[in-house]
Structure 1
Amino acid sequence: MTSGPASHGESHGGSHVASDGVEFTPGPLDRDATFYVAGHRGLVGSAIVRRLEKAGFTHVVGRASADLDLKDRDATFAFFAETKPRYVVLAAAKVGGIMANNTYPVDFLSDNVRIQTNVIDAAIAHDVERLLFLGSSCIYPRLAPQPIREDSLLTGHLEPTNDAYAIAKIAGILHIQAARRQYGKAWISAMPTNLYGPNDNFSPQGSHVLPALIRRYDEAVASGAASVTNWGTGTPRREFLHADDMADACLHLLEHYDGPSQVNVGTGSDVTIREIAETIAGVVGYGGRTEWDTTKPDGTPQKLLDVSLLTSLGWTAQISLEEGLRRTVEWYHENVEQLRG
């Protein structure tokens, strides 16, 4: 990153005024305060709950979507009035892979804008001290220079297969920045790279590339299939971060960073889809052929995040891709009967 730490507003101790005028000094969070994790059953949210509990937080709260529909504004405000959280991580979102995003763009735009708007507005109304909004690396332009820096936001055209979802997440970032400017809220945003791990979506229709490949190769082993066919050419490069690393980064940012800029969260390295497919095949024990359906879309050619800002704050990923895949496959095998569908 060419810009120095001070321009991002991070603090390493002492009094602190961010570049947008917000006065706040990051430090250890109160382990006894009410901490609401929106989306606590999902891939990221469940990892954050595990991390918070491991760190000694005693009052982590969450609500299943069946009990609290965050698209319902009145219900969301009533929940905040009842629980009065001091801290919030907004990990709730409608997510999916290329096919789902390309097929249901209205759902991805409408649902996500409503969820995040209701949560952020309720957090303003009930004076939440610290809020972390989680976006996605798809917010960046399709052809952004690699690795992608935080200041690449809004500098070019989005990937058309998931532009509706990306626009919703961009709106969330700007909502956080607006809350900082208008209300002086010490709230922040983080943009994770491609995530994977326990509680991921392994459904054939709605999953991202990595869980889709795990399921595909595992089922090929079970059926004795001679070959597996994957979408695209296998040449796009992707960066993958285990959800437990992401959760650790979230807590680190809440305790060490304040500033208007979203913070990229990733490993700083990437692999091709072909390489990840080969690794997964090896982890699940598949020895057949892998073929590629080049009539299907590849998506963005490369999406590697510049994690210089995060590294300057003292955090780096700890879980290797092979180790993370091994853990994820183990979890998948333990839960596969519940994941059928």
Structure 2
Amino acid sequence: MSKFEVSKDSKIFVAGHRGLVGSALVRRLRAGGYVNLLLRTRQELDLCDADAVHAYFRKERPDVVIDAAAKVGGIHANNTYPADFIRDNLLIQQNLIDGAYRAGCGKFVFLGSSCIYPKLAPQPMREEYLLSGPLEPTNEWYAVAKIAGIKMCQAYRRQYGFDAVSLMPTNLYGPGDNFNLENSHVLPALIRKFHEASLAGADEVVIWGTGAPRREFLHVDDMADATAFLMETYSDEAIVNVGTGEDVSIRELAELVGTAVGFKGALRFDSSKPDGTPRKLLDVSRLSDLGWKARIPLKEGIGSTYAWYLQHQDDYRG
């Protein structure tokens, strides 16, 4: 099949444009000279409603669809709402993939997650490790949905010649992140915890787990840049990992956040709480071979994310 050639005036629909990844994508695409972005809020277009999605795509005829829409959350949210996570994510991606294909879309970019890989996959995780072992139980509902999205993109490529590609980002963070302690990921949760502890003059911050698990973190602006790069240059059914190729322990991450916030107290790790996957580091050699590398160091990224949080912290009170 021939690769769809994206141009600066291509009509690009960014699903989930108000989220962490979607908003970064909009910034990156506009900075890159893309002038024809199609954007709809959840109130304007319910991505779980197949009829609404198909009707919108038939009307607008997007050239490119980027699926940055998903129901996401950390360990607590995945454990508490497993039905919501598998149902909503399956509906969103099915409606977008099938709707885009039927409307004659030229390119589809599906954004997955590193949680698709087995809990005990060899490290760093290569793309071919997909479906090679059991998933991490605390987020398997989300992971199964994302795996189904990958396979749907591959199936539509094989059967219909649909130029759909799948990108697997590592843990993302940055401006626009979710800092709600009930359902946020580890890095924004730590930023808020340390900030509030610092304001309160607390002696310590309690952190879930042992602090031993290792995680990789990619700034969302780097993710947006990689997505734009692959949208323009990549066309294959093979999935592509997107990350830095470097990781830190949760303890090291907490120390970095504490330093950025200026917290002077102690760290206490609550080992009665689950650690999740022992290590999650992506092998990014495929992406590197294609010509892209991350540019924002973790320390710098945490600092700028904390600065963003300070400007928006009123949104997370209560």
Place the TM-score, normalised by the shorter chain, in its bin.
over 0.9
Which of 150, 155, 174 is matched with 1:197 structurally?
174
Instruction: State the secondary structure of the residue aligned to 1:36.
Output: strand
Distance of aligned partners of 1:25 and 1:66 in 2 relative to their CA distance in 1, 3 Å threshold: closer
Q: What displacement does 1:30 show?
A: 1.0
Between Structure 1 and Structure 2, how many residues are aligned?
318
Distance of aligned partners of 1:245 and 1:186 in 2 relative to their CA distance in 1, 3 Å threshold: same
Give the letter for the 2:75 counterpart: I
Give the letter for the 2:18 counterpart: R
Distance of aligned partners of 1:86 and 1:25 in 2 relative to their CA distance in 1, 3 Å threshold: closer
User: Structure 1, residues 218-277: CA drift from partner, whole Å, max 9, x if none?
Assistant: 011111111110000000000000000000000111112111111000000000000000
Alpha-carbon distance between aligned partners in 2 of 1:119 and 1:25, rounded to the nearest angstrom: 20
Q: What displacement does 1:64 show?
A: 1.1
- Please show how residues 12-23 of structure 1 align to structure 2 within 5 Å: 23=1
Aligned to 2:199: 222
Give the letter for the 1:158 counterpart: L
- Please show how residues 27-66 of structure 1 align to structure 2 within 5 Å: 29-66=6-43
Which of 119, 125, 130 is matched with 2:102 structurally?
125
The reply on whether 1:96 has 2:73 as its aligned counterpart is yes
Aligned to 2:118: 141
- % identity of equivalent residues: 57
Q: What displacement does 1:289 show?
A: 0.8
Alpha-carbon distance between aligned partners in 1 of 2:155 and 2:3, rounded to the nearest angstrom: 19
Give the letter for the 2:150 counterpart: I
Instruction: State the secondary structure of the residue aligned to 1:298.
Output: coil
Alpha-carbon distance between aligned partners in 2 of 1:283 and 1:26, rounded to the nearest angstrom: 43
Q: What TM-score comes out, normalization by structure 1 length?
A: 0.92
Aligned to 2:161: 184
Q: What displacement does 1:34 show?
A: 1.0
Give the letter for the 2:92 counterpart: I
Aligned to 1:24: 2
Structure 2 gap segments, 5+ residues each: none
Instruction: State the secondary structure of the residue aligned to 1:279.
Output: helix
Structure 1 gap segments, 5+ residues each: 1-22
Alpha-carbon distance between aligned partners in 2 of 1:175 and 1:25, rounded to the nearest angstrom: 18
Alpha-carbon distance between aligned partners in 2 of 1:234 and 1:130, rounded to the nearest angstrom: 41
Which of 153, 160, 169 is matched with 2:130 structurally?
153
- Please show how residues 226-265 of structure 1 align to structure 2 within 5 Å: 226-265=203-242
Q: What displacement does 1:24 show?
A: 2.1
Q: What displacement does 1:25 show?
A: 3.9
Alpha-carbon distance between aligned partners in 2 of 1:98 and 1:338, rounded to the nearest angstrom: 22
Q: What TM-score comes out, normalization by structure 2 length?
A: 0.99
Aligned to 1:332: 309
Q: What displacement does 1:26 show?
A: 6.4
Alpha-carbon distance between aligned partners in 1 of 2:7 and 2:42, rounded to the nearest angstrom: 27
Give the letter for the 1:111 counterpart: D
Aligned to 1:74: 51
User: Structure 1, residues 38-89: CA drift from partner, whole Å, max 9, x if none?
Assistant: 0000000000100000000001121111221100111111111222110111
Aligned to 1:19: none
Aligned to 1:18: none
Aligned to 1:298: 275
Counterpart contact for 1:232–1:294, Cα < 8 Å: yes
Aligned to 1:116: 93
Which of 112, 120, 140 is matched with 1:163 structurally?
140
User: Structure 1, residues 308-332: CA drift from partner, whole Å, max 9, x if none?
Assistant: 0000000000000011111100100
Give the letter for the 1:39 counterpart: G
Runs of 4+ in 1 over 6 A off after TM superposition: none
Instruction: State the secondary structure of the residue aligned to 2:108.
Output: strand
Alpha-carbon distance between aligned partners in 2 of 1:31 and 1:151, rounded to the nearest angstrom: 33
Instruction: State the secondary structure of the residue aligned to 2:315.
Output: helix
User: Structure 1, residues 138-189: CA drift from partner, whole Å, max 9, x if none?
Assistant: 0000000000000000000000000000000000000000110111011100
User: Structure 1, residues 280-339: CA drift from partner, whole Å, max 9, x if none?
Assistant: 000010010110110000000000000000000000000000111111001000111123
Give the letter for the 1:80 counterpart: F
The reply on whether 1:211 has 2:191 as its aligned counterpart is no
Alpha-carbon distance between aligned partners in 2 of 1:128 and 1:112, rounded to the nearest angstrom: 21
Q: What displacement does 1:193 show?
A: 0.2
Counterpart contact for 1:197–1:328, Cα < 8 Å: yes
Alpha-carbon distance between aligned partners in 1 of 2:114 and 2:91, rounded to the nearest angstrom: 20
Give the letter for the 1:318 counterpart: R
Give the letter for the 1:155 counterpart: S
